[in-house]
Amino acid sequence: MSAYFYDAKGHDRELALDDLPPLKSIKANQLIWFDVQRSDAETLNRLGKLLELRPETQTLIAGAMKAKGVIAFDDYFMFRTKAAHSREHEWIDYIVSASWLLTVSDHQVVYFRKYRDRDRGETLIGNLSPLALAGSLMDWHFEHYETHASKLQEEIEAIDSEILGHRATRPPLSKLAKMRRTVARLRRHLDFHRPLVDAMLRPDISFVQKERYASYFTILESHFDRAARALEQTRQAMLASFELYATRTSQETNDLVRALTIATVAIGLSAAIAGIFGMNFDIQLFHWGLRGFLLITGAMVAAVLGIYIVARLRDWI
């Protein structure tokens, strides 16, 4: 477990659970952020008693129940998010009170660490309300989806370059299929947040409407929509890449058929010439010996070269 005490007019510091100040003594310019992994049941039980969490909340945190949107209690509320790289049954829970924020995750969250590492020393985070801090973390959360979408688009561009440049050593279908599954999972995980984003903007959610940073959640919705558009663009780019591969494969097939057709015509013409001069007619040419053989062989070679030159001039091969 990690506990971070933010004091806009004092000193920010990390605290042990036994060193926490009384929660009722926390002022308007102070807040505490608890970050706990779900597997640490002992710490969660201690925090449940310290923060006076209801049994329903502890049941939800334990992962025994699925929840979407916002769940409000007397002194706090909670909501659940799903990380971009997480499995189907892994969540990040946010429990928000007037003076503290509790986050519970199945694994260490990368952007949580980045958020804390970004502001070393004395910060003004204490001036934020716990809800505003949660909103800021959600912004990083949606940015994580955009980062995944950007990486996938870079991979798609690399595949397109291989297709257009004849550098592909093997068909990219397996890569595209894997990327399709990844995009589908990311879109499914992002759609999980739609009820939450909608709830934050509804007028009946009093704790948001009373928040002095309430207007920020409209911006948060736009960031959610931006992440959704990024994933949709990635899906479209992936489909376009598959169509490009199919078009390239069709073109290469046509080129092969054209080359085989030209080769067949050349061989057929040579065979025709050889057949004509193999007929049983007693003409003077058949008595020329080696000179006649070389003449006929040269005619066949000339016919093949002529067909090749015409095909190259017309850009058939």
Q: Where exactly are the structural domains of the chain?
A: 1-128, 253-313
Q: What is the pLDDT of residue 85?
A: 80
pLDDT of 94-105, one tens digit each?
999 888 999 998
Residue of 296, 292, 303 lying closest to 269 (CA atoms): 303
Q: Measure the CA dihedral 203/205/209/210, to 10°.
A: 140
Measured CA distances, 276 to 35, 227, 269 (Å): 92, 73, 11
Q: What is the pLDDT of residue 148?
A: 92
Looking at domain 1-128, does it have CATH number 2.60.120.620? no
d(CA 103, CA 92): 7
- Please give the CATH number for the structural domain made up of 253-313: 1.20.58
Q: What is the pTM of this model?
A: 0.72
Provide the strand spans (E) within the chain: 2-7, 13-15, 30-37, 70-72, 77-81, 92-96, 100-105
Q: What is the pLDDT of residue 213?
A: 59
d(CA 214, CA 264): 76
Q: Is the pLDDT of residue 168 over 70?
A: no
d(CA 295, CA 302): 10
d(CA 7, CA 114): 19
Mean pLDDT in residue range 74-85: 85
Q: Is the pLDDT of residue 27 over 90?
A: no
Contact yes or no for 106/90 (Cβ under 8 A): yes
* Dihedral pair phi/psi, residue 266, rounded to 5°: -65, -45
Q: Is the pLDDT of residue 78 over 70?
A: yes
